Amino acid sequence: MKTKNKNSDKNKYRICSAAVFILCILLLIFLEANKYKYSYITGILVRSAIYALVAVSMNLVTGFTGLFSLGQAGFMAIGAYTVGILTIPVAQRPAVYYMNGISPVIEKMYMPFWAAIIAGGIFAAFCAALIGIPVLRLKSDYLAIATLGFSEIIRAFIASPQLNKITNGSYGLKNIPSFPNLYTIFGICAVCIALIVLLINSSYGRVFKAIREDETAAQAMGINLFKYKELSFVISSFFTGIGGGLLAMFMGSIDSKTFQIALTYDILLIVVLGGIGSVTGSILGAFLITSGREWLRFFDEPLTLAGINIPLFRAGFRMVIFSILLMAVVLFYRKGIMGTNEFSWEAVFNLFKKRNSAGAGSGRSDIQDNHSDDGVKRILNDREA
């Protein structure tokens, strides 16, 4: 009887997942058909998807391997500039590099966007590998400071006058072609996130988690700490680079200021709010934060109620509200929206059930009760049996 229930529950969850998936596809088809009419919403969703990808890859390092790295903006910059340099149409390049001229090396170097995105990812991963060798010997806050520093170095390097003929220095790059359609961008993000999830669920993911939990114990299991930290850092940077490349294509024009520390903090905010160590949390956080900022624009406009001009409603007020909301979330959901859990339909249905039948003990407290301290006796009984 119980197993039957379980199976029917599983089917129910599967139907829910399929329904949500189909809804997303339909929404995508609808937006693709009416791109120009809904360009505002589309823009927010695309940015959310890109941030989700970067947040998930940051979560791989921070949440699953326990390395507090703040180098995201730097690796995004590498990916973005690689994509920009490789995909600006050759005919338009003189116009982009009108101030300093273009280096003959890259003048005719052109790639289709998908190849450029992969190249951006690989280049970011390569830089991460080099940076990782000295930096990953550090722990916790020190690692964060060092990666933050490297991220700024990358940015300063890109903006330096010596690289004017390659990165166009402080003028930035423009005329970066956009995506052929919405399916491409959402498809790329989804595939990349799926790859990261596969990695996390593999035996590699288990090793990453072991390192996060206890480095000494992990080492005592024979795990080569440096090798796996470096692996996690490089893979995360690869996908961050891809995210940066996508961002460059989405924005069309980039300069080094796009990749300031504030961008890393945006991503960090998403990861923390969504739940450190939860992939679905990061995705949820990316969409909530990116769109939340826009929806709150309502507070930026003057508001007149019954002839009275309500004070405070003026430009910038939405950021105040946004900050208060964030503080509330951090105070009341200390581990983020999802904690270290992943989204499951079971949890959603249980939430409704709990609401409907208040007073019935939740599953979790039952577990706690089960293994309270009478364990002492039970262990011995088990031993004798």
* 138-141: long-range contacts, CB 8 A cutoff, minimum separation 24: 140/68, 141/68
Which pair of tokens denotes residue 201? 């669920």
Give the range of 106-114, 179-187, 221-229, 260-268 binding another protein by CB under 8 A.
221-229
Among 112, 180, 363, 375, indicate the residue that binds another protein (CB under 8 A): 375
Could you say whether residue 221 binds another protein (CB under 8 A)? yes
Surface-to-core class of residue 357, CB atoms within 10 Å of its CB (0-12 exposed, 13-18 middle, 19+ buried): exposed
Report CA torsion sign: 318, 321, 325, 326. positive
In this chain, which of 5, 309, 365, 368 binds another protein, going by CB under 8 A?
368
Q: Which of 174, 206, 214, 220 is CA-nearest to residue 81?
A: 174
Binding mask 76-115 for another protein (x = CB under 8 A): ----------------------------------------
Instruction: At 271, give phi and psi (nearest 5°).
Output: -65, -45
277 to 296, contacts with another protein by CB under 8 A?
277
CB 143 within 8 A of CB 69: yes
Identify which of residues 221 and 324 has a Cβ nearer to another protein in the complex: 221
**Which of these ranges, 111-119, 147-155, 170-178, 216-224, lies near another protein under the rule CB under 8 A?**
216-224
Q: Does 222 bind another protein (CB under 8 A)?
A: yes
Contact positions with another protein (CB under 8 A) in 324-353: 340
Stretch that binds another protein, among 42-50, 94-102, 256-264, 368-376 (CB under 8 A): 368-376
Give 113's contacts (C-beta < 8 A, 6+ positions apart).
83, 87, 177, 179, 249
Does residue 114 sit in helix, strand or coil? helix
Q: Which of 170, 340 has the CB closer to another protein?
A: 340
Site for another protein in 152-211 (CB under 8 A): 203, 206-207, 209-210
Closest contact distance (angstroms) between CB of 229 and another protein is: 15
Which residue lies nearer to another protein by CB, 78 or 218? 218
- Decide if 215 contacts 32 (C-beta within 8 A): no
C-alpha R_g of the chain: 24
Interaction of residue 366 with another protein, rule CB under 8 A:
no
Check binding of 39 to another protein (CB under 8 A). no
Q: What is the 3-state secondary structure (H, E, C) of 4-62?
A: HHHHHHHHHHHHHHHHHHHHHHHHHHHHHHCCCCCHHHHHHHHHHHHHHHHHHHHHHHH
**216 scored as a contact of another protein (CB under 8 A):** yes
Residues that bind another protein (CB under 8 A): 203, 206-207, 209-210, 212-214, 216-224, 277, 340, 367-368, 371, 373, 375-376, 378-380, 382-383, 385
